[in-house]
Amino acid sequence: MTDTNLPADAQGDDARHLQVDGHPTAQPVEMGRRHGMFGSSRGTDTTGYGGLVSPVLFPGEAARPYGSYFDHVADTLEKALVGSSASFREAVASVVVDRGEMTLHVRREHLPVVAQALRDHPGLRFEMCMSVSGVHYPQAQGQELHAVYHLLSLTNGSRRLRLEVSCPDADPHIPSVTSVWPGTNWHERETWDFFGIVFDGHPALTRIMMPDDWPGHPQRKDYPLGGLPVEYKGATVPPPDQRRSYN
């Protein structure tokens, strides 16, 4: 079993880190609140669970030692950024280690220099960006939109690393990394298509899944469900966002 105990110098409600298997780990951060069992928010909940309220918890910033190869990655990246346009502290807002994975939360203006260092430094060599994913947190004011980059180093034993960059809905711009990882061309287009994140410097930022004249970005949480009415044994089932509410 895993023992979780407060450190001797961090007892009480203000404790920031817990001890899990001897490694410090941060208390979770509440990103929002979910109402109802199934997330219905348009008055269409017919389950009777509409009154439930549960927090949306994300892992908080980790403390050293991170464990595994994560300390080496952080130390090497810090050295690689010496003399560049941004230091490690300026470029990386926080480091999160959770479930055996490391995530660097990078400030968007410093993403290109961090990406270049991660690819080119001999001690890092994250040659491949496997995917770029978009995420939408409507309740996170000032950082509603996130782009997540999944990196792989074939040179250094298939090490994996995740970069996460946020931007506000009012200014949805993040620098493109196609000059560092050309394979992100289509991934950034898909993220733009579904979430509306504008990747500055992308060679051809156009829709890739939806028609060119499609209104809005359908993977955002505030996008209407829509759908088509379905006929079933002579009856018609309306689209989800047009169904009536019983509460």
Q: Three-class SS string for the chain?
A: CCCEECCCCCCCCCCCEEEECCEEEECCEEEEEEECCCCCCCCCCCCCCCCCEEEEEECCCCCCCCCCCHHHHHHHHHHHCCCCCCCHHHHEEEEEEECCEEEEEECHHHHHHHHHHHHHCCCCCCCEEEEEEEEECCCCCCCCEEEEEEEEECCCCCEEEEEEEEECCCCCEEECCCCCCCCHHHHHHHHHHHHCCEEECCCCCCCCCCCCCCCCCCCCCCCCCCCCCEEECCEEECCHHHCCCCC
Residue 163: the pLDDT is: 98
Q: Cα dist. 191→6, 47, 98, 179, 241 in Å?
A: 40, 33, 24, 17, 24
Task: Report CA 86 to chain centroid distance, whole Å.
Answer: 22
Q: What's the confidence (pLDDT) of residue 16?
A: 46
Quick one: angle between helices 70-80 and 111-120, nearest 10?
110
Q: pTM higher than 0.95, yes or no?
A: no
The label of the residue with tokens 């941004």 reads: 86
**Residue 229: per-residue pLDDT:** 67
Question: Residues 182-234: pLDDT tens digits?
Answer: 999 999 999 999 999 999 999 999 999 999 999 999 999 988 877 666 777 77
Both tokens of 155, joined, read 């040179």
Looking at residue 136, its pLDDT comes to: 95
Dihedral of the CA atoms 209, 212, 216, 217 (nearest 10)? 20
Give the pLDDT score at 24: 52
pLDDT of 15: 39
Residue 31, sorted as left (phi over 0), alpha (psi -120 to 50) or beta, turns out to be alpha
Is the dihedral angle over the CA atoms 161, 188, 168, 224 positive or is it negative?
negative
Q: Which residues of the chain have pLDDT under 50?
A: 1-21, 247
pLDDT value, residue 5: 37
State how far the Cα of 160 lies from the Cα of 8, in Å rounded to an integer: 33
Token reading at 54: 């549960």
pLDDT at res. 20: 43
